[in-house]
Amino acid sequence: GAVVSQHPSRVICKSGTSVKIECRSLDFQATTMFWYRQFPKQSLMLMATSNEGSKATYEQGVEKDKFLINHASLTLSTLTVTSAHPEDSSFYICSVSSGRENTGELFFGEGSRLTVL
Amino acid sequence: QKEVEQNSGPLSVPEGAIASLNCTYSDRGSQSFFWYRQYSGKSPELIMFIYSNGDKEDGRFTAQLNKASQYVSLLIRDSQPSDSATYLCAVNKGGSEKLVFGKGTKLTVNP
């Protein structure tokens, strides 16, 4: 499967600051990447679909101005949490589609745990 | 009704036993079904996927799909302590690439 790398794996920031998380597809050119968020003991929730060279598609209830997604190349997508608040503390995970048509098979990065103080 | 439902557990089985994990889904348009394993503090890793009704076996794992009943399950034979994790059922949304996840079932295999 695809190798997906995320950075940073952990980040602690003060309330009101912005945090950028990088997701790299190391061995696969990914036109589409997905960003998920997982709160403790909860399911993974899809936040947005990142499309190379175009705007991201956000799921209902996810603020696009707060969670900025940039997918400038086939190997890199970034998620910026702007003006972070304690309620944004979560485990953010990016994923890459295998590319098998209409299968939804995903390979996940290691995840980034954000703690907002 | 939640899109993907799983018994949250915890499910506890002795080493060597069969662990049975169940999942139901609401979207009849779903075409692909996945089981992911997630260790505490880690991201999910794919165990198996299944598209067709029936059983699919891969080593100690068997996925079962019944589209008429909107039910998918995962059997783990000869369970090992290293199988202790949370198992996430995922279904693709309306046949798209988007996955909807259940909350997961926590499995503990006791030595």
**In the predicted model, what is the mean pLDDT of residues B20-36?**
92
φ and ψ at residue A106, rounded to 5 degrees: -120, 150
Select the more confidently predicted residue: A80 or B9: A80
Question: Helices marked H in B1-111 — which ranges?
Answer: none
Is B101 close to A109, i.e. CB distance below 8 A? no
**Can you tell me the distance from the alpha carbon of B84 to that of A52, in angstroms, rounded to the nearest whole number?**
37
Is B100 close to A93, i.e. CB distance below 8 A? no
**In the predicted model, what is the mean pLDDT of residues B22-28?**
93
CA distance, residue A21 to nearest chain B CA (Å): 15
Rg (CA), chain B: 13
Residues of chain B contacting residue A97, judged by C-beta atoms under 8 Å apart: 97
* A34–B contact, CB cutoff 8 A: yes
For residue range A33-68, list pLDDT tens digits in order. 999 999 988 889 999 998 888 889 999 999 999 999
* A39–B contact, CB cutoff 8 A: no
Angle (CA) A78 A9 A6, round 5°: 40
For residue B96, pLDDT over 90 is answered with no
* B40–A contact, CB cutoff 8 A: no
User: If pLDDT is split at 50, 70 and 90, which confidence band does B8 have?
Assistant: confident
For residue range A70-81, list pLDDT tens digits in order. 988 888 999 999
Range 46-85 of B in CB contact (< 8 A) with A: 46, 49, 51
CA distance, residue B89 to nearest chain A CA (Å): 10
Question: What per-residue string of b and e applies to B66-97 under the rule 16 or more CB within 10 Å gives b?
Answer: eeeebebbbbbeebeeebbbbbbbbbbbeeeb
User: If pLDDT is split at 50, 70 and 90, which confidence band does B60 have?
Assistant: very high
